Structure 1
Amino acid sequence: MKTLVLFYSTYGHLWKMAEAVAEGARQVEGNEVVVKRVRETLPAELLDKIHATEAQKAFAHVPIATPEELEQYDAIIFGTPTRYGNVASQMQAYLDATGGLWARGALVGKVGGAFVGTATQHGGQETTIRSFHTELFHHGFVVVGLPYAWQGQNGHETVTGGTPYGASTITGGQGERQPSENELEGARFQGRHTAEIARKLAPVAQPA
């Protein structure tokens, strides 16, 4: 079985969440887990202006995924920042390039889900994940969220991300807040849970 954790990140928060999702997915025996990113679409001068160039060097080694390779995986877990309560344009551009896969039904029956990051506690985490789910449904994915079996989203002692639709993190208005251990644990749970569902749905190999 193969799982892809595919993310876009401006400052590295979603990369850290992606690594945690992958860590959880690797806990499922026999699961080959790959972490990749989508291509940056902002011009270099704008990345410099918003102080993202230096931050992106930390995950520049992560390979860039092509839309065509999605059909190689049994499970795909997508990570994106929120932009005005919706999917970031970089990730949307990637998804918009999957029309050929949609036309062939190449992703029907695959298992998928999404995780996000927002600047503020109520900055559109759930709307973004739900919007992402709509796109996955159009491709025929079996969509998996982050069930309340993960107890980390039940507490209220501290500010934290985490929704029943998928893992999430809060970055702060200037990107000053890094994913907390609770948020990373939610990401690990989602990765493991999604891979476990994919394992259950995987066809049983027939003897030769």
Structure 2
Amino acid sequence: MTKVLVLYYSSYGHIETMALAVADGVRAAGASVTIRRVPELVPERVAARSGYKVDQAAPVAAIDELADHDAIIIGTPTRFGNMASQMKNFLDQTGGLWFADRLVGKVGSVFTSTGSQHGGQETTIQSTQTVLFHLGMIVVGLPYSFKGQMRMDEITGCSPYGASTLADDGKGGHRDPSENELTGARFQGRHVAEIACALAAGRAARGA
């Protein structure tokens, strides 16, 4: 069975919620899914004082786990138009996998969240995709066959680069991912899994 890893970092739970939706999409495609989060770098007392969601169920990932999967879907919040330092720190440790070409040919994809409508969703996804390209992965986005990304009747995340959500309600309060954003996350999970399954079937047919 094709194996997909959903690897995420989430400070306040928005990306965690999106990661669970992505995983639902993976399962809908008939693939197996593993959900992991990267280690927190913020001191525990600081995280607690800042209201971080510290009770996340997903186990912390190990670097070598990445090579055990056919596809990796990364979720990270935006930090000034780029991935969070926790995710970057984790990916910076994949040098051994890169040197041995262990991620070459695997499918990679990215989803994100921002605090505002123009907070860097697309640049965060694209800059994270750059890392995937360097690792030799086949990068997949969120195609326009997901029509929800073209909605004009409500504020929503999602773009052709990947699913996304807005974490702020515009008044300084917390905003949960909308149903449209979660639908985009599920679509992306299924899309990535279907491509990974097709690639795996092709390799099997060639006896690779």
Short-chain TM bin: over 0.9
Q: Return 109-118 or 175-184, whichever deviates more.
A: 175-184
TM-aligned CA deviation for residue 205 of structure 1: 5.8
- The answer for unaligned runs of 5 or more in structure 1 is none
Partners of 2:156 and 2:205 in 1: how far apart? 42
SS at match of 1:56: coil
TM-aligned CA deviation for residue 177 of structure 1: 0.2
Q: 1:187 aligns with which of 185, 188, 194?
A: 185
- The answer for unaligned runs of 5 or more in structure 2 is none
TM-score by length of 1: 0.94
Match for residue 19 of structure 1?
20
Q: 1:94 aligns with which of 64, 67, 90?
A: 90
Match for residue 123 of structure 2?
127
- Superposed CA deviations along residues 132-190 of structure 1, whole A, max 9, x for unmatched, are 11000000000000000000011111000001000000001756000000000000000
Match for residue 204 of structure 2?
204
1:51 aligns with 2:51: yes
Runs of 4+ in 1 over 4 A off after TM superposition: none
Partners of 1:38 and 1:70 in 2: how far apart? 12
Q: Contact conserved, 1:11 with 1:175, CA < 8 A, in 2?
A: no
Partners of 1:119 and 1:175 in 2: how far apart? 10
Amino acid at match of 2:181: E
Match for residue 36 of structure 2?
36
Partners of 1:2 and 1:175 in 2: how far apart? 37
Equivalent pairs: percent with the same residue?
54
RMSD (Å) for aligned C-alpha atoms: 1.3
Partners of 1:145 and 1:116 in 2: how far apart? 12
TM-score by length of 2: 0.94
Match for residue 62 of structure 1?
58
Aligned residues: 202
Amino acid at match of 2:45: E
